[in-house]
Amino acid sequence: MKALAIDTSNLVMGIAVVDGEKVIGEYTTNLKKNHSIRVMPAIHDLMKEMNMKPAELDRIITAKGPGSYTGVRIGVTIAKTMAWTLNKDLSGVSSLEVLAQNGKFFSGYVCPLFDARRTQLYTGLYGFEEDRFQAVKEDRLVLRSNWLDELKRLEKRILFLGNDLDLHKKSILEELGDQAVFGSAADHNPRPSELARIGIEKEPESVHHFVPSYLQLAEAEVNWLAGQKK
Amino acid sequence: MKQDEMILAIETSCDETAVALVKNGTEIMANVVASQIESHKRFGGVVPEVASRHHVEQITVVMEEALQMAGVTMDDVTAVAVTEGPGLVGALLIGVNAAKALAFAHGLPLVPVHHIAGHIYANRLITEMKFPLLALVVSGGHTELVLMKEHGSFEVIGETRDDAAGEAYDKVARTLNLPYPGGPHIDRLAQDGAPVLNLPRAWLEADSYDFSFSGLKSAVINTVHNAAQRGETIKPEDLAASFQESVIDVLVEKTARAAREYDVKQVLLAGGVAANKGLRAALEAKFSGLPQELAIPPLYLCTDNAAMIAAAGSIAYQKGKRADWALNGVPGLDLEAQ
Ligand SMILES: Nc1ncnc2c1ncn2[C@@H]1O[C@H](COP(=O)(O)OP(=O)(O)OP(=O)(O)O)[C@@H](O)[C@H]1O
Ligand SMILES: [Mg+2]
């Protein structure tokens, strides 16, 4: 199966082209630059390098968030459109699950995270269970302090991954001490080839119904709902 | 060989997810518009983040519906046109990225279109454009007089210095506690009222084609406020009729003056406020005695739609205008630089 994987959900932009088990092309940048301008040229260039036509793809895979609302919509829109118009399968993978793969051989738990402002995190917990590396605590938007409390009770070593760790490392160490382990630079960039690997195995999504996992409502919607309850 | 030119156009600049197919620049094969207005009503206006979310939900559904309705496949499509700007950036990005993916998937040319050029070119779907022409663009975000000497050339000879006409309608409507969007409600009320209140008209400098509606809007608010303090009530119908007359007087007068000065062959109305019955009637009355031909598109081509983007896109395509894969949404895109 030939697949194109696209991740524009956070600062790291990644594209991969795989042919079955084989990763034949992968492109990653970690830049504060506009994904909307850069991602389509990157897809074009990588596919050209692979000498592959869009119609040859069997599946389009996208990171579905959480992350930047605008960012995730760019990848999701491109993936939905390509899958729909070429009549190919579409699959979506949690952006946190993709990042967690960088710690899949760690013996404890793996905690991928993206900063969600106001000391909140987009995060989840992953580890080996039932012979499979998978989510052990589902993805969520959570206050950092609450999350660290929860992790502390697990009494197991936890590997933290993500480029936003600079903002949270101090608090994590204060709360978890030796229980916390940190990846190094290369571990913090989610790899599009991992996105592709997971995406290939997923059940295809319904293209028309597929939407990003924002993990929270739009702010106006939250306020409106609060107003309704009064 | 493709016999006909078939443009597939995408428009997502605000709260409408729209896709159209237009043959040979003027024949509408499909014009699908998924409006989000019901969703935004509860907020009293368009919420950008909510708009962007709806666009992602709708985009492939609307594209599919348009192709089905037109009875064509992507093999019949010559080029993909898309609104590049102006508009809400997050909303624009959905259309732009969908258009890029679509064009890339099928190896088709990608044509960027200015949203206001689209509003003006809605007219090309109903009548031949005769140059030089003058377009009065009145919409939720714009109020301008645009002079066109030929296809694809736009000179803004006047524009609003503050609120757009549609915006003024919506703000006045809010003062009267009418639901969003207020323009059509004011229009309806005005039909049953009389312009008995004395409201200002902003003519600005004698030779200016610019507009200003914020003073009028404030005058309306003050009038309502002062009446309330005196314990009087103003008939909303009369207020609406007075406000509407004030807006229309200025729009019609300046349009007629510019049409004369620039000696144009044709005057085109464009944008969502073109739905206004009073404005249509006043323009028709004014130009019935003047040499310039007046064109007013039907309502469904005045509000945001993609057929108008295809109409403008067809001309741009023929002029060789192309975007590359780096095309971005540009919220403040300049019309004159087109
Ligand atoms: N009958 C009417 N009378 C007056 N105003 C109207 C009428 N119908 C619609 N409007 C106004 O038209 C505006 C919407 O027009 P349109 O959809 O062209 O704007 P937009 O696309 O949001 O703005 P822009 O094209 O400038 O980005 C709203 O402000 C609405 O109140
Ligand atoms: Mg518009």
Residue with tokens 């917990």: A125
H helices of B12-133, in order, are 37-41, 48-70, 89-106, 115-121
3-state secondary structure of A13: strand
In angstroms, rounded to a whole number, what is the distance separating the alpha carbons of residues A114 and A168? 10
H helices of chain A, in order, are 35-49, 69-86, 95-100, 144-152, 169-176, 192-201, 219-229
Q: Atom 3 in ligand 1: which residue has the minimum CA distance?
A: B276
Beta strands B6-11 and B16-23, pairing class: antiparallel
Of residues A62 and B41, more confidence is placed in: A62
Asked if A196 and A23 touch (Cβ cutoff 8 Å), the reply is yes
* pLDDT attached to residue B61: 98
For the ranges B177-181, B237-241, B284-288, the lowest mean pLDDT is seen at: B177-181
Can you read off the two tokens belonging to residue B275?
A: 């739905």
Chain A positions touching B61 (Cβ under 8 A) are: 208
Q: What is the pLDDT of residues A10-25, one digit of tens each?
A: 999 999 999 999 999 9
Asked if A108 and A158 touch (Cβ cutoff 8 Å), the reply is yes
Angle between helix B183-191 and helix B165-175 axes, rounded to 10 deg: 70
* pLDDT attached to residue B2: 57
Q: In this model, does residue A76 exceed pLDDT 80?
A: yes
Q: Atom 5 in ligand 1: which residue has the minimum CA distance?
A: B183
Q: Atom 18 in ligand 1: which residue has the minimum CA distance?
A: B272
Nearest Cα residue in chain B from A77: B98
Share of chain B above pLDDT 90, in %: 95
Compute how many other C-beta atoms are within 10 angstroms of the C-beta atom of residue A49.
12
Burial category of A24 from C-beta neighbours within 10 Å (exposed 0-12, middle 13-18, buried 19 and up): middle
Which candidate from A37, A70, A78 shows the least CB-CB separation from B101?
A78
Average pLDDT over residues B261-287: 96
Q: How far is the CA of B302 from the centre of ligand 1 (A)?
A: 9
Strands (E), chain B: 6-11, 16-23, 27-35, 79-85, 110-114, 133-138, 143-148, 155-159, 266-270, 293-295
Identify the CATH number of the domain defined by range B6-121+302-318. 3.30.420.40
pTM, to two decimals: 0.96
Q: In this model, does residue B1 exceed pLDDT 80?
A: no
Amino acid occupying residue A103: G
State which CATH number among 3.40.640.10, 3.40.50.11740, 3.40.50.150, 3.30.420.40 fits the domain covering A96-188: 3.30.420.40
Asked if A181 and A157 touch (Cβ cutoff 8 Å), the reply is yes
Beta strands A158-161 and B266-270, pairing class: unpaired
Query: Ligand 1 pocket: which residues have CB below 6 Å?
Result: B 13-14, 87, 115, 119, 139-142, 166, 169-170, 181-184, 187, 271-273, 275-276, 303-304
Average pLDDT, chain B: 96
Identify the CATH number of the domain defined by range B129-296. 3.30.420.40
Same fold, B6-121+302-318 and B129-296: yes
Average pLDDT over residues A172-183: 96
Confidence of residue B3 (pLDDT cuts 50, 70, 90): confident
Q: Atom 4 in ligand 1: which residue has the minimum CA distance?
A: B183
* B49·A69 Cβ contact <8 A: yes
Annotated binding site of B for substrate: 137-141, 170, 183, 187, 276
Chain B positions touching A66 (Cβ under 8 A) are: none
Q: Domain locations in chain B?
A: 6-121+302-318, 129-296
Q: What is the CA radius of gyration of chain A?
A: 18
Annotated binding site of B for Fe cation: 115, 119, 304
Q: Domain locations in chain A?
A: 2-94+191-218, 96-188
Can you read off the two tokens belonging to residue A151?
A: 């992790």
Annotated binding site of B: 115, 119, 137-141, 170, 183, 187, 276, 304
Same fold, A2-94+191-218 and A96-188: yes
Q: Which of B189, B161, B315 is nearest to B250 (CA)?
A: B161
Q: Which of B129, B119, B97, B124 is nearest to B329 (CA)?
A: B97
* pLDDT attached to residue B233: 87
H helices of B196-276, in order, are 214-229, 236-261
* pLDDT attached to residue B180: 86
CATH topology of domain A2-94+191-218: Nucleotidyltransferase; domain 5 (3.30.420)
Of residues B258 and A131, more confidence is placed in: B258
Q: For residue A42, give every residue at least 6 positions away whose Cβ sits within 8 Å of its Cβ, in sequence order, or none.
A: A13, A15, A27
Q: In this model, does residue A230 exceed pLDDT 80?
A: no
Average pLDDT, chain A: 96
Write out the H or E segment, with its range, that includes residue B318. Answer: helix B307-318
Residue with tokens 């709902």: A225
Phi-psi region of B106 (alpha: psi -120 to 50; beta: other; left: phi over 0): alpha
